[in-house]
Amino acid sequence: MAFVKACALSELEDDTPKRVELDGIPVSVVRTEGEVFAINDICSHANVSLSEGEVEDCMIECWLHGSSFDLRTGKPSGLPATRPVPVYPVKIEGDDVLVSVTQES
């Protein structure tokens, strides 16, 4: 599993998604509830960026149609989305947030 630097931990604001591109894959990095998560940035229902949505209770909401996805599993909480989005392993080393997009969970 290859980890690459996504951003600095100090760049992340609580509950504010940060969009990055890693190996050509759009990823939303989110610090919430004392943890950092990485989830594919594209909604599985509509081709829109999840990083433009709001974060609450370890969920990220798609701003277009309101589907929310669990940051831990990628599973949607309700319609209109029915398919999960990929989530990626995260490691913190010092101030670096490292993400592996080569292995989805």
The CATH number covering residue 20 comes to 2.102.10.10
22 within domain boundaries = yes
Looking at residue 63, what is its pLDDT?
Answer: 87
Instruction: For 15-67, write each residue's pLDDT tens digit.
Output: 999 999 999 999 999 999 999 999 999 999 988 999 999 999 999 999 888 89
104 band by pLDDT with thresholds 50, 70 and 90: low
In a domain? residue 103? no
For residue 60, tell me if it sits in a domain: yes
**pLDDT of 105 over the 70 cut:** no
CA separation (Å) from 14 to 10, 34, 56, 57, 87? Answer: 10, 8, 10, 12, 18
Burial class of residue 10 (count of CB atoms within 10 Å of its CB; 0-12, 13-18, 19+): exposed
Range of the domain at 8: 2-97
Q: Is residue 105 part of a domain?
A: no
How many domains is the chain built from? Answer: 1
Indicate whether 102 belongs to any domain: no
